[in-house]
Structure formats: structure tokens, C-alpha cells
């Protein structure tokens, strides 16, 4: 079930109504049933995978907690990890690796014995697998005690607002909330609806509108050069951000309406002054997951600098592979690993340059250096997204090779006009998405990291004007016909 669909609106209103109507002790049952219905609206038979994952992690985590034998605990943890990630491998990566071996053997004149085949990719499998695996690992580490109520643990794995695209919640945050009584609070409900509205604005006005141009260019990349590729690449940066952060806003907002607090997943990432800062602001739940369960277990920053760089690079390669079963994602992850390693290596030199320019004592230098850092970081991240969006490695290299073609013509009004016509959208649609993006940037710059909390401190007329403007923008410029899936559903 898509958030940006009429079915979800009806579904959410009904769930909220009956949720507050029911006594507290029955509410988790309603939420669990609603979560299963929410997922089964896509492909009912695949709910069996979530049920299996729930049973495995619930059972093994209890056994791990009760066992006093260290070897047995390690074996049960290993069983949990193997089962969780075998499930993920079979449904997400098996086809990818098989096709890779087919191509590899063909390159050497041989033949891989297994023919190419297809496997259905269950929606959100990476998200609920990571959430379930983290729970069992936390129990093994002694960070949490396992929950005894099987139904409420099932709800933790399947809670519908964040089931298919996160945030990837930690048990210590979400599980205790299922035991608390949530009374109807009109202020909290209104705040939740405002957060949802902002998420819908990002998704249906910016992301789905930008997708028209992005799909036109990237799906036929080798027909385009120069400024057209630049515009499509920048639009994809905003499409991806607004699509995914829009989903997170709707998830956080809908959970808040029901009385639950989900973790913040985005914090104005395109205002980051370094790639390291970007990853502290982008997909925060996944970044922290890889930090806790991949980077630190590999050794983290303990040991030599060379080992630290190795751990960073491996973590980002794995992160890239998590995003999709394609070499484009692996290269994208590797690029970010290289970016961060270079930043670490050059920390000292960059600090000296800033000090020579009076970074700390001169407000003008401070502002210029920060502005340059933000623009440079956005440029690096946006260029890396070429691999994230390209249909193949070949397409990505073509774009890199042709993106600066005709640079001298970029100030020619006729060339700019022709570029606008080549994007597959009308000039009205292009103007609409540009105005929407400028609105997003202005809101994030002027209202800070928590737009809605900041607006609560403003007077009534400012709040009314802002939310009325956003509501009208959604209703008049939102893409509702053939509404697109959220990008991260495929992960």
C-alpha cells in the first residue's frame, strides 16, 4: 500500500479512529492486524517471509538470553545471522551474483551452468531484516532484554508506518512504546498531520514531478549531453532526497498521530559541509546501523590509520550493496568511502588553510568557506548519485564523459531553452518543480532542522500562511495520477 494513494488515506483514518476507540490492552492487536494488511495489499503471499523472520528472531533471542553457555550463545547468534541474511541474499542478491558469474564465465569463453532467472524482490526486505537482526544482536550483547510478548515483538518488526522503508528502528526506542498507554492528544495529532503534509509535499510535488525529467534523461542517457545531463543529475539529487525523506516524514507523522515517536531519519543533508557530515544527516537510521553492526565490529577507528581506512571503505561498499543488487550501487558506496578517507587524510591541511584565512575570527571568511564547503559537498554527492541512478555502469561512465560537453554554450539563452524542452516535461512543470525546490531550500535554511517545532514558536498567521501554501501546492501541483512508488521500496 502506497502512502501517496487514496487507499492509504482511507486506511490510516480508519486505523486511527478504531485505535483511539479501543481500550489500551487491545490496541496492539489492531496495529498488528493493520500492519499485516498494509503489507499484504502489495503481495499477500510474501507476508510469510516477515512471519518467518519474526519467529526466528523471537525464538533465538530468547534462547540466547536464557543460555549461560558462551559457546551456545555464539552458535545461536550465528544461526540468527545466517538465517536473516540468507533470506536477504536469496531474494535480493542471488540473481545478481548468478548473472555476474554468467557474464564472468562468458568473458573467458566459458559457460556458467545456471541459466539466468528471476526472483521476486519482497518490498522492504532489507529494512525489516536489518531491524530484526539488530534486535537479536543487541540481546546477545546484553544491551537489551528480549520481549516475552510474541505479538508485540511481531508488531515491532511489522509496524506499518516504517515497515517497508524505515526508519530502521532500534528496539530500545520503539518496543517500550507498545506498552505505554497513548491518550488522544489533539496537539500531537495536528503536529503529526503537519509532518505528514510536509512529507507529501516533498513526494508528490518535488520527487514525482522531478522524476519525469530524471526518467526521460537517465533511461536514454546516451541520447543526451552537456547541460541536459547536469540538470537531470541535480534534479535526481532532489528527487531522491524528497522521495526518501518524504516517506520518512509521512512515517514519522503517521506514527506520531498514533502516539509513537520514530527516530529522525534526515537532518537537512544538503547543507552538510563535508561528506562525513552528510552521512550524519542522511538516512541516519541506516548510517548508525552500519556504524554499530559493521564498522565497529570490523575494528572501527581502533588500530592503525590504514586499518581504519580499510574498515571505512568496506563499510561503505557493504552500504552500497545494501542499496541494490547492481554494481552501480557498489561503485557509489565505494566512492563515498574514498571521499571520507580523503577527508580524513586531509583534515590537518584543510584546518591549517582555514586558520590562515581567519576562519574562526573573520565572519566573512567563515561564511564564504562554509558556503563553498556546502556547495562542494553537494557537488560531490550529486556526482556520486549518477552511479546510484544510472541503469548500468556503462551509462554512468557515458554521463561522466559527456556531462560537460558544450560548456561554452551554457550561457546561451537558446541553448538553455532547448535544454528545458529536452527534459520530457512542459515548461510549466519545470517551473513548478524549481519553485517547489526553492521553497524546500528556503524552509530548511530559515526554519532549521525541525521545521514544525520552529513554526510552533511563530505567530498564528505565519503558521497559517505556511501550511496553507503547502496544502495548496500539494493540491494544485501534486502528481496523483499513476502515483509513483517510493524509490527505497526496492531496497
Residues with catalytic function: 323
Exposure pattern of 353-364 as b/e (b: 16+ CB <10 Å)?
A: eeeeeebeeeee
Location of C-alpha cell 485505535: 19
CA torsion angle for 29, 34, 36, 38 (degrees, to 10)? -170
Cell numbers at 140, concatenated: 546477545
Helix 393-402 with 327-345: angle, nearest 10 deg: 50
For the CA atoms of the chain, what is the radius of gyration? 24
**Chain Cα centroid distance, residue 55:** 26
Cell numbers at 433, concatenated: 518543480
Instruction: Return the number of other C-beta atoms located less than 10 Å from residue 432's C-beta.
Output: 19
> φ, ψ for residue 138 (rounded to 5)?
-65, -40
Nearest-CA neighbor of 74 among 55, 85, 60, 86?
A: 60
**Chain Cα centroid distance, residue 430:** 25
Omega into 167 within 30° of 0, i.e. cis?
A: yes
Amino acid at each position: 500500500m502506497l502512502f501517496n494513494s487514496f487507499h492509504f488515506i482511507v486506511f490510516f483514518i480508519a486505523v486511527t479512529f478504531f485505535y483511539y476507540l479501543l481500550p489500551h490492552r487491545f490496541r496492539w492487536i489492531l496495529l498488528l492486524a493493520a500492519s499485516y494488511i498494509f503489507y499484504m495489499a502489495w503481495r499477500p503471499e510474501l507476508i510469510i517471509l516477515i512471519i518467518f523472520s519474526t519467529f526466528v528472531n523471537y525464538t533465538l533471542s530468547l534462547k540466547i538470553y536464557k543460555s549461560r553457555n558462551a559457546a551456545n550463545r555464539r552458535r545461536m547468534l550465528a544461526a540468527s545471522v545466517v538465517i536473516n541474511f540468507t533470506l536477504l541474499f536469496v531474494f535480493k542478491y542471488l540473481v545478481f551474483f548468478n548473472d555476474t558469474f554468467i557474464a564472468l564465465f562468458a568473458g573467458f569463453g566459458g559457460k556458467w551452468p545456471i541459466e539466468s532467472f528471476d526472483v521476486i524482490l519482497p518490498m522492504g526486505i532489507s529494512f525489516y531484516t536489518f531491524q530484526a537482526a539488530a534486535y537479536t544482536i543487541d540481546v546477545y550483547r546484553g544491551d537489551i532484554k528480549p520481549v516475552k510478548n510474541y505479538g508485540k515483538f511481531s508488531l515491532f518488526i511489522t509496524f506499518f508506518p516504517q515497515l517497508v522503508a524505515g526508519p530502521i528502528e532500534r528496539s530500545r526506542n520503539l518496543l517500550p512504546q507498545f506498552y505505554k498507554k497513548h491518550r488522544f492528544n489533539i496537539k500531537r495529532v495536528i503536529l503529526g498531520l503537519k509532518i505528514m503534509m510536509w512529507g507529501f509535499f516533498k513526494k508528490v510535488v518535488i520527487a514525482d514531478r522531478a522524476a519525469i525529467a530524471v526518467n526521460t534523461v537517465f533511461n536514454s542517457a546516451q541520447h543526451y549531453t552537456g547541460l541536459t545531463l547536469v540538470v537531470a543529475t541535480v534534479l535526481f539529487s532532489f528527487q531522491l532526497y524528497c522521495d526518501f525523506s518524504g516517506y520518512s516524514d509521512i512515517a514519522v507523522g503517521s506514527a506520531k498521530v498514533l502516539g509513537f515517536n520514530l527516530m529522525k531519519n534526515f537532518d537537512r543533508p544538503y547543507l552538510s559541509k563535508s561528506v562525513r557530515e552528510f552521512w550524519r544527516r542522511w538516512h541516519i537510521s541506516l548510517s548508525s546501523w552500519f556504524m554499530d553492526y559493521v564498522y565497529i565490529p570490523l575494528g572501527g577507528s581502533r588500530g592503525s590509520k590504514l586499518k581504519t581506512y580499510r574498515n571505512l571503505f568496506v563499510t561503505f561498499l557493504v552500504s552500497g550493496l545494501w542499496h541494490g543488487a547492481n554494481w552501480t550501487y557498489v561503485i557509489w558506496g565505494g566512492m563515498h568511502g574514498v571521499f571520507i578517507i580523503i577527508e580524513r587524510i586531509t583534515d590537518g591541511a584543510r584546518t591549517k588553510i582555514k586558520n590562515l584565512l581567519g576562519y574562526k575570527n573573520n565572519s566573512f571568511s567563515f561564511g564564504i568557506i562554509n558556503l563553498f564547503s556546502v556547495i562542494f559537498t553537494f557537488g560531490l554527492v550529486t556526482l556520486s548519485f549518477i552511479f546510484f541512478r544510472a541503469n548500468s555502469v556503462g551509462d554512468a561512465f557515458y554521463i561522466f564523459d559527456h556531462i560537460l560537453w558544450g560548456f561554452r554554450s551554457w550561457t546561451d539563452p537558446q541553448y538553455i531553452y532547448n535544454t528545458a524542452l529536452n527534459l520530457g516535461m512542459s515548461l510549466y512543470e519545470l517551473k513548478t518543480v524549481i519553485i517547489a525546490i526553492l521553497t524546500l531550500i528556503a524552509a530548511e535554511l530559515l526554519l532549521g532542522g525541525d521545521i514544525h517545532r520552529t513554526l510552533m514558536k511563530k505567530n498564528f498567521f505565519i503558521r497559517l500562511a505556511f501550511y496553507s501554501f503547502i496544502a495548496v501546492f500539494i493540491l494544485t501541483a501534486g502528481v496523483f495520477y499513476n502515483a509513483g512508488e517510493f524509490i527505497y521500496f526496492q531496497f
